[in-house]
Amino acid sequence: MNSGENIGEDITHNIRTIESIPLKLRGQGYPSTLEVRGEVVMPRAGFNALNAKAEAAGEKVFVNPRNAAAGSLRQLDSRITASRPLDMYCYSVGYVEGGELPSTHFDTLKQLNTWGLKLNPEVRLNTGPEACSLYHDDILAKRDALDYDIDGIVYKVNELKLQRMLGFVSRAPRWATAHKFPAQEELTTVLDIEFQVGRTGAITPVARLEPVFVGGVTVSNATLHNMDEVKRMDIRVGDAVVIYRAGDVIPKVVKVLLDKRPDNARPVEMLTTCPVCESAITQQEGEAVARCSGGLFCHAQVKEAIKHFASRKAMDVDGLGDKLVEQLVDQKLINTVADLFDVTVEAVSKMERMGEKSAQNLVKALEVSKQTSLQRFLYSLGIREVGEATALNLANFFGNLDAVMQAEQDLLQQVPDVGPIVAVHIVEFFQQPHNVDVVSSLIAAGVRWDEVEVDHDQEKPLDGKTFVLTGTLTLMARDQAKGYLQQLGAKVSGSVSKKTHCVIAGENAGSKLTKAESLGVSVVTELEYVELLKEHGIEVPV
């Protein structure tokens, strides 16, 4: 059994269009096989020009250069990528065969440069902590003058032999460390507080701000998460606020300047009806998030539901990006996820930036996605709080879709990782006739999977054992790690006690690890946990 997946995207056809990436290396002496690693960026000047052009044409502008670069690389039509102002900086090598490279990291980078590969001009060779600190301060001082966004620098051990000796902690190398810059803060004014509707109907308050330049990007919106946060901060329309970009990406309101509050500052109250479909807004007791009850009828949720359905960990429809989903819905070519399988090459090829070949590729990708697994299909439906691990547990427990759809709350709660709240969400989802209709339409369209063999009487290798997860896992999501343990029969607890069989400690493990050591409880690293899974037939890519 192979329950782990390592799936990426093939963007070779788009990478070839970037001018700074040579189609053939210059000079001689390079290995017969050379894997070069780097980062594609969109310079600020090019980003601003791209947005100005889009704005003049009445098109949607990009939020920041990082999103613009990522979106450009994922285009189905490489001609679009070729028209975007992209650049690439190389920072290391991977697999090498049929040749040798210098013995140091810095000299290797210089060698790549002689072969025609571009390096960041700010790369430096420094010796000792004082030189590294001065370098950090130097880059921080010129941060705003650089033609790309940057949130810090990375120190790397120069000797490749030492890099190999130091090795990795899961995915993170011991021979490299990041030194982040302090977040940049700016003062602005709250012009309004509006509400957005998410994929699961979550109603999120968003602050509309007087546009302000922060960290190389003009920021005009910042999420306020939920009404509890709005009340905690006592944020009002008209308030002066301090904002920063968390991780230099996500705008966040740091604090409200109460001493600058105008007399006409307006408090905000939660809506009673959805701003998109006017369905009633509900909020379960004990939950911070309010939700639209419109389900698949809500236009905002339909778009997000389709995006989730087509995502990599769900049905994995190659080439069906967010923008294309929005176009398909806006042009009324699809109204539910089931309608995806009715789209035609003729209809799609007439859409903006979609030619005949791109349309053919999309329809082919949709056909390929029909062969899936029960766990992926359950996850793709977007049932509240049914993530990958829960979908896997449901598939392994019931074995087929009909059993899941007909299960009552008591039976569902026998499934590992399914408590009373999740059980209610599952039952309510399949009690809705329109949801059942969509599922039936998907199956009628040819979506299929192999049934899972179920044997509840079979003893599992970790039956009766209690595990605790702590720290940051880098090889898998925490719910995946939990799901694998439950799949093998283990109980996963949130606290350590004498009854705990084993603690799996990721990076920066804290008090749970300390308690486990004091009690003499067995502790394993994430890599050792991966080996344990492997012993029981579950492969996790490292």
The share of the chain scoring above pLDDT 70, in percent, equals 95
User: What would the 3-class secondary structure string for 286-317 be?
Assistant: CCCCEEECCHHHCHHHHHHHHHHHHCCCCCCC
Q: Mean pLDDT, to the nearest integer, of 440-467?
A: 85
Q: Output 384 or 261, whichever has higher pLDDT.
A: 261
Domain with CATH 1.10.150.20 in the chain: 295-369, 374-449
Q: In the predicted model, is pLDDT for residue 311 greater than 70?
A: yes
81-90, 402-411, 418-427, 452-461: the lowest-pLDDT one: 452-461
Q: Mean pLDDT, to the nearest integer, of 73-84?
A: 91
Ramachandran category for residue 403: left, alpha or beta (phi over 0 → left; psi -120 to 50 → alpha): alpha
Contact 503, 512 (CB under 8 A): yes
**Domain 12-180: CATH class, spelled out:** alpha beta
Q: Mean pLDDT, to the nearest integer, of 473-500?
A: 85
- Model pLDDT, residue 541: 65
Contact 241, 247 (CB under 8 A): no
Q: In the predicted model, is pLDDT for residue 424 greater than 90?
A: no
- Model pLDDT, residue 5: 45
The share of the chain scoring above pLDDT 90, in percent, equals 53
Instruction: Return the bridge partners of 187, or none.
Output: 242
Predicted confidence (pLDDT) per residue in 112-138, tens digit: 999 999 999 999 999 999 999 999 999
Q: Could you tell me which CATH number the domain at 185-260 has? A: 2.40.50.140
Of 16, 20, 18, 14, whose CA–CA distance to 74 is shortest?
A: 14
Mean pLDDT, the chain, whole residue set: 88
Residue ranges of alpha helices (H) inside 2-143 are 12-15, 44-56, 65-73, 78-82, 105-114, 129-141
Q: Mean pLDDT, to the nearest integer, of 388-395?
A: 88
Question: At what angle are helices 44-56 and 65-73 packed, to 10 degrees?
Answer: 80
Of 504, 507, 485, whose CA–CA distance to 496 is shortest?
A: 504
Q: Could you tell me which CATH number the domain at 295-369 has? A: 1.10.150.20
Domain with CATH 3.30.470.30 in the chain: 12-180
Q: Residue 229, Cβ neighbours under 10 Å: how many?
A: 15
The CA–CA distances, whole Å, from 171 to 10, 126, 506 equal 21, 25, 11
| Cβ neighbourhood burial of 98 (10 Å; 0-12, 13-18, 19+) | exposed
Residues 363-395 as b or e (16 or more Cβ within 10 Å = b) = bebbeebbebebbbbbbbbbbbebbbbbbbbbb
Token output for 213? 């330049």
Residue keyed to tokens 């890519």: 541
69-78, 202-211, 236-245, 450-459: the lowest-pLDDT one: 450-459
- Model pLDDT, residue 497: 92
Q: Mean pLDDT, to the nearest integer, of 259-278?
A: 91
Predicted confidence (pLDDT) per residue in 221-252, tens digit: 998 989 999 999 999 999 999 998 765 567 88
Q: Could you tell me which CATH number the domain at 374-449 has? A: 1.10.150.20
Q: In the predicted model, is pLDDT for residue 107 greater than 70?
A: yes
Q: For residues 28 and 361, what is the distance between their CA atoms, to the nearest angstrom?
A: 38
Residue 58, C-beta contacts closer than 8 angstroms, at least 6 positions apart: none
The superfamily CATH assigns to domain 466-535 is: BRCT domain (3.40.50.10190)
**DSSP string across 177-227:** EEEEPPPPEEEEEEEEEEEEE-TT-EEEEEEEEEEEEETTEEEEEEE--SH
Contact 506, 474 (CB under 8 A): yes
Bridge pairing between strands 33-41 and 87-97: antiparallel
Domain with CATH 3.40.50.10190 in the chain: 466-535
Q: In the predicted model, is pLDDT for residue 417 greater than 80?
A: no
Q: pLDDT band for position 2 (50/70/90)?
A: very low
Of 411, 379, 413, whose CA–CA distance to 395 is shortest?
A: 379
132-146, 217-231, 278-292: the lowest-pLDDT one: 278-292
- Model pLDDT, residue 4: 42
- Model pLDDT, residue 313: 87
- Model pLDDT, residue 195: 94
Predicted confidence (pLDDT) per residue in 11-50, tens digit: 999 999 999 999 999 999 999 999 999 999 999 999 999 9
Q: Mean pLDDT, to the nearest integer, of 514-523?
A: 92
Predicted confidence (pLDDT) per residue in 157-207, tens digit: 999 999 989 988 756 789 999 998 887 789 999 999 999 988 778 999 999
Predicted confidence (pLDDT) per residue in 355-388, tens digit: 889 999 999 999 999 999 999 999 999 888 898 8
